Structure 1
């Protein structure tokens, strides 16, 4: 090394301990601030914030098509995040997973992993776009609501924090490990969280007890239980606590008196494959001898882990062992650590919510100031234009007398009390602005601007106004994001619940035309064809099938208007090959009464309606909540006049069109809203004006895109698109859909049908003919149908039904429904037990 080189070198002597200490502190703070801990204001780490901001710049909004994940990874790395692509894509994957985030921030297409621990596909295969929740975190960012800073190379700017209309730190929680510290914040339910925030905004001095009354505890995306409230209170009061999480488990009775433990929900962040391995290890080690089999019957609809037990095993004792030795019981250690003003702080509940509220108030003030400046600028221009219009002749003379635009500009400035910007706007004004209508528009715009300026000034200067604005914003968000709680909280002194057969698992409920009913695990119903589950009884067939859960209740509506409740949990559990029991074994029917329809309801909501149609042409609509107290003995479901009877019943969402058809071939379609909601015992109003001797044979609320397969007594049929039925007023005579009734015979009913459906034609001799819906010709109401089934002499068609297989069963939640004919009227002969399937009358459309 030369002497010149030594002269230019800068050598500083330092103690090794001091250098190590300062370097370690610098590194630690870099990890804490730039990677590991979320900001208390928006609940995001830098990588999450940069991903969302890059997606916003790329236009990947919820209403736009998905784009390749590789696009996002490349944009984030090239513009904002100088780290590895693996870290970015792993973050994107977690933001997509609905079992990781309570409210996912990214909507993904493709394989993004599973709760079993399966890895996501490479980012060249998957596609993403933002969710509405992400858009609310970014809302108003273009209005100068947050600070920005240069990116890593100074070419671009990125936000320091997002405006964050939602209290995201607690909404989705956060996990992170830094140097010497860690954060672990659980997710919460949006409705409960916003209720607590709203109370704190309105009452800044409230105590933690008042917040606890509105925010009972965390709500994990995977459901399960939190056993005990002590850990929740500790976390909310001190920032630290331990939550005892447990899986949701119930008992099902199987064959030969053997029981099974059914796991349907796991604790948050527990890997199902690991749990299976732990149970298997216990059995092999001889520490769980009561377990004879372990099956994973999970599917896309949810988790179902079946743990079969010996006949004499005690389920509660086995479960206690599993809770002790496996992750069916898991502890979530809450550490509410986040960055406040760039420094890590451990926060209690009031501090977390208060930090977000202060941030939102600042965002609202900055946004209002931004809008105020723009409104004031526009008002300034409009005032100048109005002043010019008031003296338009002088303005025109000055402009015409000027040799150059610059001269006109100087002339206007000298002649009027205007600013340079106002003069520029006048010179750029089009001649059309001289019309009276345009002058009125300017005056109206100025009035609107002045009112907006007053409102924005109030927001900028008055914190009370800002708090009122924030509360209105919170109420709007609560309406959009409020959803049912998934995680149930049990009191400390409450014994862990182990319910029998009915938990929350998906069940396939089957009912035959003859009225036999059973329920079986939904996982065992795949690929089951209707013909495979028919009974030996002639004329019985697969009538209905729907997917439901143990919490559902079946409502049986009878011809006399009674409503009987039948919990799904009370139905006999069966296998694919088992035969159910008759539905009348579970409800108390009056002598001579018959079931018209079976409807499924998970909740008896005010925004769902039970519509009842009678043979004499009346219709009644009641809120489903009116039937919440129904019992097996029955309650009055509808007031029925003497000589009349219920012919159809179905559940709607309040916005359907109703269709009634009569024996003579008349049909009427009218909006459901034409029938006001009535009390449960009301008789209803007239739906169709019947001719003498005519009666209603079918009624429904069909889907708008469906075909109605119309059947006649002589075996004729045709499919009429529902759109062909014109909408009329209620209580009219309707229009004819059987133009040649003398030849085709009277109308016996209709049913919704699509090309892939099978249709059963019930005949007067007790037999059944089946055809495909595709074989029935499509016609308009004015055209005649064609023979659809071949009939023997003296035999007529009595009803038409859809034939559905278990694999095509739909989720039975209260939505738009259909009921055509009179199902479940036939009584099987003694000694016959038909196997049943049916698609229920209430199904989400």
Structure 2
């Protein structure tokens, strides 16, 4: 047999512009996501999957008083009846509605592992059980009274509610988060008492403003507590429907024995996982970005959350906490976006006032429909009772008619004719068994009829005026407030928060030493790494490969000014310089400044903020000197700025910070020095040269300057061969600027040139550093006081080919 070849069916090909088709199809998809998945309905505050879960539990009889049932049963029932999607998203939605750290007023009561604030997932649905919470129950209040519309489910076998008749604005009480196509909703939870008070105000005062609402309303009330700030910003956000709200953890600084402090955190920001937060803090400690933390412990238990941060004795608790607020999720912004579905279909960003008014309109419709339903039911019942009363006037006749009638139709017609009742009344009488009909008491029927007439009057009155419906809503709101109100968990703080905190404020204040090498490297060490040693010893070795130029004792909140020999200056915060060990190599300063620097450095200076009354005094090798306001150096770009115009053949030698009331000592390599008042130095601009500070002898040049005041009347002098002495400044008489000065130290081949001079307090220490990398830290009390013409005693034992480059007192 020949096989019949079926002709291929012709398929219709549609010619369409692809851009238009894509646009239309994508728009349909976008609307489907917005309406059917991601954005909550303003009226009941639920997404379709949440609504279907709650309605499924209602149908299954899982009330707050019933036994718990396996979540797998609820999920399966929901999938089979109303939600033809995967079981995972349904279970996830159910779990979220049971988490007391996610919802302010959980809609589901769970039994078993429903996840934790640590970010732990819930157990499988076959292990967990659930039922509606008391708050979840009220979402379905009056649903059986035709208060909302029902539509066919996905396969047309049953009907599901379009919206639930919630008597409270669940969209505000528990909030909502959802990402749709081209839009996102982000609504925080709020306090029930505050929201109800706002609704009552709007029912009483139709023209109430947002300011009126804020008499009762204080912003979000998160289930995890915390603190919110900036009331003006919160008001602005709720006025326009979007805006940031700053929330911080609740943290307390607790003082322990031996003056140690610790930070105790008992509440964390909404949607922050505790375990992740602990990891963030631990990472900062391990990376040495925050100092002063000794230990971080999670002491949370069934009583509540508790994170304890133990601090080192020298740590500044306020600064550590401020740093953690700025670099971890202990502080975060919740971006409010009051995007909801109005009438279940139109996505809109609304103000708080609009949300409440829309909800009241919805609630009025629910109360109207409920009252209409109850009115019709009361009328129906009263009508039947009136027929029964007529029948009871001659009950024997009624029984006789029913017994003698051939069928129900004949009995109905006979009753209607004999007692002058309607078909509905006759049907109701026939529905009653004869035994019950005989035992009916006329008086009880009259009492019930009276009750039904009172209901008719009540519901007719409610429906007569909008004001009466509002009074009914008021009464219900007051009852719900009494039943569910609780204390606010999130505190509104009126403390002013500076959202942009400078990095300096976040760094723990610690003493430190900054070293500048001759090959333009920079390193930072803790003073504790340089141990105190005996005067005249060899000292330790910092680095033989990196000869030191200058170093300075400072702290992590200061700025370092680096001056070059040609009169340029660069600025760098101390905390930006990486702290290391003695053996660590210095890093090129160009790495920190972001550019190569060709000129050699001659001086470094430490500055703190708020030193407006101070000046910088700069001196050149040839004795030229100038004074510049310190405020001129507040803002210096990474590329640097000019500090002094230096003449050809001369170089900048030293810089010191002084006040106008101070006096100054300028000293040379050959041990000469001149003492005069700072006032004698004319104040100049940065881009200027100087005036003559000191007259120099042949083959002599200036090596440094030092300030003199009443508190510091002794100066330490150190020569390049490691000799040193203490000199009373009373021996150095004050002169006029420009003179040649007097001798302050005997200089010869044994001593080498004078390299360092500084005033001090006796309890301070001296740090010496040699060109070959040796260092020695000694107590200043061990250095003798000597006359001007002496050369000093040996402070450090150095090698023949080595010499002292610089020294510092701290």
Q: What TM-score range do you get, normalising by the shorter chain?
A: 0.5 to 0.7
- Match of residue 78 from structure 1: 80
Q: Deviations over 1:481-534 (max 9, x none)?
A: 1111110001253799xxxxxxxxxxxxxxxxxxxxxxxxxxxxxxxxxxxxxx
TM-score, reference length from structure 2: 0.59
Give structure 1 stretches of 5+ with no counterpart. Answer: 497-845
Aligned to 1:458, which of 453, 457, 461? 461
TM-aligned CA distance change 1:240 to 1:495, over 3 Å: closer
Q: Deviations over 1:260-314 (max 9, x none)?
A: 0111100111111111111111112211111111111111211111111111211
- Match of residue 160 from structure 2: 158
What is the CA–CA distance in structure 1 between the aligned matches of 2:91 and 2:108, rounded to whole Å? 12
What is the CA–CA distance in structure 2 between the aligned matches of 1:396 and 1:119, rounded to whole Å? 68
- Is 1:322 the counterpart of 2:324? The answer is yes
Does the CA-based 8 Å contact 1:65-1:129 persist in structure 2?
A: yes
TM-aligned CA distance change 1:178 to 1:172, over 3 Å: same
- Match of residue 621 from structure 1: none
Does the CA-based 8 Å contact 2:291-2:320 persist in structure 1?
A: no
| SS of the residue 1:213 aligns to | coil
- Match of residue 439 from structure 1: 442
- Match of residue 382 from structure 2: 379
What is the CA–CA distance in structure 2 between the aligned matches of 1:401 and 1:142, rounded to whole Å? 40
TM-aligned CA distance change 1:428 to 1:335, over 3 Å: closer
TM-score, reference length from structure 1: 0.57
TM-aligned CA distance change 1:4 to 1:328, over 3 Å: same
| SS of the residue 1:424 aligns to | helix
Q: Deviations over 1:24-50 (max 9, x none)?
A: 111111111111000010100001100
TM-aligned CA distance change 1:460 to 1:448, over 3 Å: same
Aligned to 1:146, which of 126, 148, 165? 148
| SS of the residue 2:284 aligns to | helix
1:395, distance to aligned residue in structure 2 (A): 3.6
- Match of residue 88 from structure 1: 90
Does the CA-based 8 Å contact 1:177-1:183 persist in structure 2?
A: yes
- Is 1:478 the counterpart of 2:481? The answer is yes
Aligned to 2:451, which of 448, 451, 467? 448
What is the CA–CA distance in structure 1 between the aligned matches of 2:425 and 2:267, rounded to whole Å? 67
Does the CA-based 8 Å contact 1:140-1:367 persist in structure 2?
A: yes
- Match of residue 260 from structure 2: 258
Aligned to 1:467, which of 452, 465, 470? 470
1:386, distance to aligned residue in structure 2 (A): 0.7
- Match of residue 331 from structure 1: 333
1:235, distance to aligned residue in structure 2 (A): 2.2
- Is 1:51 the counterpart of 2:25? The answer is no
- Match of residue 586 from structure 1: none
- Is 1:344 the counterpart of 2:368? The answer is no
What is the CA–CA distance in structure 2 between the aligned matches of 1:434 and 1:128, rounded to whole Å? 46
- Match of residue 491 from structure 1: 494
| SS of the residue 2:51 aligns to | helix
What is the CA–CA distance in structure 1 between the aligned matches of 2:95 and 2:399, rounded to whole Å? 65
Does the CA-based 8 Å contact 2:291-2:315 persist in structure 1?
A: no
- Match of residue 722 from structure 2: none
| SS of the residue 1:294 aligns to | strand
- Is 1:203 the counterpart of 2:205? The answer is yes
Aligned to 2:361, which of 340, 358, 362? 358
| SS of the residue 2:151 aligns to | strand
TM-aligned CA distance change 1:258 to 1:37, over 3 Å: same
- Match of residue 660 from structure 2: none
What is the CA–CA distance in structure 2 between the aligned matches of 1:43 and 1:317, rounded to whole Å? 42
Q: Which runs of structure 2 are paired with 1:571-650 in the superposition (5 Å)?
A: none
1:414, distance to aligned residue in structure 2 (A): 2.5
What is the CA–CA distance in structure 2 between the aligned matches of 1:338 and 1:413, rounded to whole Å? 55
What is the CA–CA distance in structure 2 between the aligned matches of 1:229 and 1:453, rounded to whole Å? 49
- Match of residue 16 from structure 1: 18
- Match of residue 634 from structure 2: none
| SS of the residue 1:100 aligns to | coil
Does the CA-based 8 Å contact 1:222-1:265 persist in structure 2?
A: yes
Aligned to 2:286, which of 284, 287, 299? 284
1:247, distance to aligned residue in structure 2 (A): 0.5
| SS of the residue 2:252 aligns to | strand
1:369, distance to aligned residue in structure 2 (A): 1.4
Q: Which runs of structure 2 are paired with 1:241-256 in the superposition (5 Å)?
A: 241-256=243-258
- Match of residue 746 from structure 2: none
What is the CA–CA distance in structure 1 between the aligned matches of 2:63 and 2:301, rounded to whole Å? 30
Cα RMSD (Å) = 2.0
- Match of residue 418 from structure 1: 421
Aligned to 2:241, which of 239, 242, 254? 239
Aligned to 2:104, which of 102, 105, 111? 102
1:325, distance to aligned residue in structure 2 (A): 0.6
- Match of residue 306 from structure 1: 308
Does the CA-based 8 Å contact 1:366-1:460 persist in structure 2?
A: no
| SS of the residue 2:214 aligns to | helix
What is the CA–CA distance in structure 2 between the aligned matches of 1:76 and 1:70, rounded to whole Å? 10
What is the CA–CA distance in structure 2 between the aligned matches of 1:5 and 1:375, rounded to whole Å? 66
Structure number with bigger Rg = 2
1:186, distance to aligned residue in structure 2 (A): 0.6
1:423, distance to aligned residue in structure 2 (A): 1.6
| SS of the residue 2:441 aligns to | helix
1:421, distance to aligned residue in structure 2 (A): 1.9
Does the CA-based 8 Å contact 2:395-2:438 persist in structure 1?
A: no
What is the CA–CA distance in structure 1 between the aligned matches of 2:63 and 2:202, rounded to whole Å? 32
Q: Which has the higher contact order (CA 8 A, sep 6+)?
A: 1
What is the CA–CA distance in structure 2 between the aligned matches of 1:171 and 1:436, rounded to whole Å? 53
Aligned to 1:69, which of 62, 68, 71? 71
What is the CA–CA distance in structure 1 between the aligned matches of 2:461 and 2:95, rounded to whole Å? 43
1:403, distance to aligned residue in structure 2 (A): 4.9
Q: Which runs of structure 2 are paired with 1:717-756 in the superposition (5 Å)?
A: none
Point out the more displaced range, 297-306 or 119-128: 297-306
1:465, distance to aligned residue in structure 2 (A): 1.3
Q: Deviations over 1:173-219 (max 9, x none)?
A: 00000011000001011111111111112222211111111111110
What is the CA–CA distance in structure 1 between the aligned matches of 2:190 and 2:452, rounded to whole Å? 41
1:358, distance to aligned residue in structure 2 (A): 1.0
